[in-house]
Amino acid sequence: MSLTPSNMLPLGTKAPDFTLIDTVTNNPVSLTQIKGDKGTVVMFICNHCPFVKHVNEEIVRISNDYRVPGFGFVAISSNDVEKYPQDGPKEMWDTARKEDYSFPYLYDETQEVAKAYDAACTPDFYLFDADLKLVYRGQLDNSRPGNGIPVNGRDLREALDNILNNNAQRKDQKPSIGCNIKWKQ
């Protein structure tokens, strides 16, 4: 397993716009369509990464818990599917169904969206406020495969709660750690 940290895009950055194909519906989905009234979570994930597999249940729980209060959620896979066919659109559809994703799972074939977000690893989490300004980026929580710490989504949940309660965000945000995005040559 590769241990790649987030690049930690500067706080306050405006969410880069995108329109990508949802592998579940086969329809184009844009940032504008998934934007929540309170905020928006953009997650870079993939199918084969053990770090993503480790947190899949919790990201589904978080999206279900925070969708009703007004947050939008989207997952994007940007891996090179020629070298990693298990991360292709058909396999993404299978994963979304198996894991019961309640959010669009988009395929970034050109990898331009991952580059625009300066995404580095899977999973990589970005939380934008109602104005699509970045307020949190980094880890879901302190749990990693094999470290014995339960997955609870504490860091992302705290950031979401801070928006809901009009509290300031932590300045000491920890990068996510996971598999590197599989870039095309």
Over residues 30-43, the mean pLDDT reads: 98
Question: DSSP states of 77-142 as a string?
Answer: E---TTT-GGGSHHHHHHHHHHHT--S-EEE-TTSHHHHHTT--EESEEEEEETTSBEEEEE-S-S
* pLDDT band at residue 3 under the 50/70/90 scheme: confident
CA distances from 133 to 5, 47, 79, 118 (A): 22, 28, 25, 15
Over residues 137-160, the mean pLDDT reads: 96
Whether residue 119 lies inside any domain: the answer is yes
Whether residue 108 lies inside any domain: the answer is yes
Whether residue 150 lies inside any domain: the answer is yes
Question: DSSP states of 125-182 as a string?
Answer: EEEEETTSBEEEEE-S-S--TTS-PPP--HHHHHHHHHHHTTPPPPS-PPPPEEEEP-
> What confidence score (pLDDT) does residue 24 get?
95
Per residue in 57-68, pLDDT tens? Answer: 999 999 999 999
Structure tokens at 164: 């809901």
Helix H or strand E encompassing 57 = helix 50-67
Whether residue 102 lies inside any domain: the answer is yes
Whether residue 59 lies inside any domain: the answer is yes
Per residue in 88-120, pLDDT tens? Answer: 999 999 999 999 999 999 999 999 999 999 999
Q: How many residues can be counted in the chain?
A: 185
| Cα–Cα distance for residue pair 86/50, rounded to 1 Å | 13
CB neighbour burial string for 101-130, b if at least 16 within 10 angstroms, e if fewer:
bebbbbbbbebebbeebbbbbbbbbbbbbe
The domain spanning residue 30 has which CATH number? Answer: 3.40.30.10
> What confidence score (pLDDT) does residue 90 get?
96
Average pLDDT of every residue of the chain: 96
pLDDT for 185 beyond 90: no
Phi, psi of 113 (to 5 degrees): -70, -45
Per residue in 67-88, pLDDT tens? Answer: 999 999 999 999 999 999 999 9
Whether residue 138 lies inside any domain: the answer is yes
3 state DSSP class of 32:
helix
Whether residue 28 lies inside any domain: the answer is yes
> What confidence score (pLDDT) does residue 2 get?
64
Domain span holding position 37: 4-180
Whether residue 185 lies inside any domain: the answer is no
Q: Count how many domains the chain has.
A: 1
pLDDT for 1 beyond 80: no
